[in-house]
Amino acid sequence: MEEHTIIDAHHHYQDVPDYPDLLAEEYASLGIAKVCLISVDADDGIKRLKAALDKYPDLILGLPLFNWKEHGPDDIHRFKDLGFSGVKFTRPPRPYHHEDFWPVYEKCQELGMPGLFHLGILQRLQSKGFMKAATKEDLKGGYFLDCNFMRPIYLDTLARLFPEWQIHGAHLGNPWFEEAAMSCRWNPNLYFDLTGSTLKKKKPEFLAEMLWWNRFTRYRDPLGLDAWEKIVFGSDVAYYETHDVLHDYDVLIRALNLSEDIRWKILGGTAAKIYGLE
């Protein structure tokens, strides 16, 4: 990869016609070279992701959405054979670090498949314009949604258990920002993005307070990295809104007077490292 390359490390396949074509056209105009595209939560979602990857192999890094009821370690091998680059995890039936899930994570580490984890609060489903209440019908999926199962501190455990596995946490753990920040400081294989409401509602000074260390501070990353070397660009919006998220990252970088070297690591260099594209 070129040194100054933009990689969108967190983007969801939208369930609209010709989405890969729309995405490819827009990202060419924005100068985004690669996108980690996550499959939709549907029976044919992985098939559609595979078709998109086959059509745009130079653009798309495919991340199939892991189904906790149906998928297991063998499916990680299948995803690798299909040409996918990583795996997306969300809505776990137990905390992310539960021992039952370790064989899946071990297979990801073995095959070099980075894991992207949703963290923090998930939006409520809507029904006829009203927020849907949890009912016994929801248990047909096997469990209620418990956002507490998706805290960033669980990724600290996984990063220690699987030190060769590249782990990417979404949203800087919103609302558990401090857990996320301290977890990535101590774990060389753990990274976060700033997708979601964080860049819209949190001031640059707040994020600077969370991500405060550098190679010169008394307390720092064990490898001597700047805190911002552990942050990646991600959109987590529809293709036509990505330009706005890029703008938000740019505003943050300028407000904190981050160096050009750090800027390009955030925009693409660190993601290239995670996915072995250097």
**Tens-digit pLDDT string for the chain (278 aa):** 677 999 999 999 999 999 999 999 999 999 999 999 999 987 799 999 999 999 999 999 999 999 999 999 999 999 999 999 999 999 999 999 999 999 999 999 999 999 999 999 887 654 444 444 455 555 444 556 789 999 999 999 999 999 999 999 999 999 999 999 999 999 999 999 999 999 999 999 999 999 999 999 999 898 999 999 999 999 999 999 999 999 999 999 999 999 999 999 999 999 999 999 98
- Domain ranges, residue 18: 6-122+138-274
Q: What residue has token string 């998706």?
A: 150
- For residue 129, is it within any domain? no
CATH code for the domain in which residue 224 is found: 3.20.20.140
Phi, psi angle pair for 12, to nearest 5°: -100, 135
Residue 78, classed as helix, strand or coil, is: helix
- For residue 170, is it within any domain? yes
| Rounded CA separation 26/47 (Å) | 23
- For residue 100, is it within any domain? yes
- For residue 132, is it within any domain? no
Pick from 142, 159, 162, 232: nearest CA to 195 = 232
Residue 250, classed as helix, strand or coil, is: helix
How many structural domains does the chain have? Answer: 1
